[in-house]
Amino acid sequence: MAMEELHAAALAYYDNGTQQLRDLAGSFFRSMDTNGDGQISCLEFNDFLQQSGYNWIINDPNFFKRLDRNGDGGLDFGEVLTFYYIIKTRYIKCQGYRCGVHLCGLYFTCVACFDGSHEHCSTFDLCPACYRNRSYYHHQHHTYFLDNHVLLRSKRGLSPYAPPNLNMVHNCITFFITFMRLDLHFVLHLYVDL
């Protein structure tokens, strides 16, 4: 599902972009299509990755298949748009212990690192499994993580450099915990009644 969302976002940006942006996208596609058949083969794709330095994608043998939405063994223009969108906006890898998975969908981010409140100013991102299992090493004083959707919502209405609205986040988390407790209580009650 995450790749479908990325595809939809890439097409939306393309459809609403300037003519210059569309021309650049066409040039990008043609630069990959070395035999000029209007489709990017797996070989052409891998050659492009090696020449362009996108080695992190070469390490994911299923990436080409996930891009190939119709499963015809080649990438059409729309599928290459999705690839371009990913390499320009989504180069995020899990920094969990020995993980390194490419994060396309939901992931967790250290709020302090996201806000650039310390010297190296890069984000620290984790897949849900690494965050849940605490399979990572990070600064001891950076203990507050939010998923990418909640982080975006927590900044709603704030200036771009303001810290997130922690009251809103606290309310969301409290609601979630309360809901989970009620759900667990309901399930236990049903089990006891049986």
pLDDT score recorded for residue 184: 46
Tell if the pTM clears 0.75, that is, is over it. no
123 and 181 housed in the same domain? yes
80 and 112 housed in the same domain? no
Q: pLDDT per residue over 103-160, tens digit each? A: 877 899 888 888 775 555 688 899 999 999 988 888 777 778 888 888 888 777 655 5
Summarize the confidence of residues 92-112 as an average pLDDT.
85
Q: pLDDT per residue over 160-192, tens digit each? A: 555 655 665 555 555 555 545 554 444 444 444
69 and 28 housed in the same domain? yes
117 and 189 housed in the same domain? yes
59 and 17 housed in the same domain? yes
In a domain, 116, yes or no: yes
In a domain, 94, yes or no: no
Task: Sort residue 53 into left (φ over 0), alpha (ψ -120 to 50) or beta.
Answer: left
Q: How far apart are CA 152 and CA 90, in angstroms?
A: 15
18 and 74 housed in the same domain? yes
Calculate the average pLDDT of the chain. 79
Domain span at residue 129 reads: 108-193
Domain boundary among 59, 89, 119: 89
124 and 170 housed in the same domain? yes
Q: How many domains does the chain have?
A: 2
Give 85-93's long-range contacts (Cβ < 8 A, gap of 24+).
Answer: 85/6, 85/9, 85/10, 85/13, 86/6, 87/54, 87/57, 90/6, 91/56, 92/123, 92/125, 93/56, 93/125
Summarize the confidence of residues 20-35 as an average pLDDT.
92
pLDDT score recorded for residue 139: 75
Domain boundary among 61, 89, 117: 89
Domain boundary among 89, 120, 148: 89
φ, ψ at 190 (rounded to 5°)? -65, -40
Q: How far apart are CA 69 and CA 91, in angstroms?
A: 20
55 and 119 housed in the same domain? no
